[in-house]
Structure 1
């Protein structure tokens, strides 16, 4: 299956960007009290994208050698993903006060950027890692 690695990785990166962009648009509009971000098609579309995203993660993880994950970057990335999901859920709840939703929305976006840094640098500190030589 390793022969499909480049295609699966490309799909994974595309799905990450699509998922993040959809959350950013929906979350920002939800903070402005728009109703369209909670539309059933968008909600289930987001779930579908994230399901394919998690499937691609599982496929990539089974293809790569275990030694690649030795420094803990993948564990940190998964922890950040859980935090991102929880913050995103709170940010999208209309019953929660706007200040709390705004904080959670901005924190979720910052967490998303952190996840990208961890993934790109393969370092648990992501963008905050000391200069890698």
Structure 2
């Protein structure tokens, strides 16, 4: 096999979708397709009174969750991203909403060869049905061989 350092390096540079999108659960992974470029640019936190900057989307998301979100208690979870005034009754809904600011798309289409990614599981599920519709159209096509 490879020396451990080489194997570890190879592992660290492979984004999660290189494994055919097998994972069903969200992760702090890079987005697929054209959105991959987002993770290679400097990422800034625009939470009110915060100007932290990170070299990757993954680091930015981790910062927001640890510093701005997970410390909070209460009955209302408000977004304090500059220019945003949305509030949620559940912490999880605030975390999902924050993806609209960070561009995080952890839900990758499971269809082989499709590299589309989504910020929430319901949008991914809706998209994946388009692959099923395409298969059904081919099955019921009047152009079948006799």
TM-score by length of 1: 0.29
- Which has more helix, going by share of residues? 1
Larger Rg: 2
Higher RCO (CA 8 Å, separation ≥ 6 residues): 1
TM-score by length of 2: 0.27
- Which has more strand, going by share of residues? 2
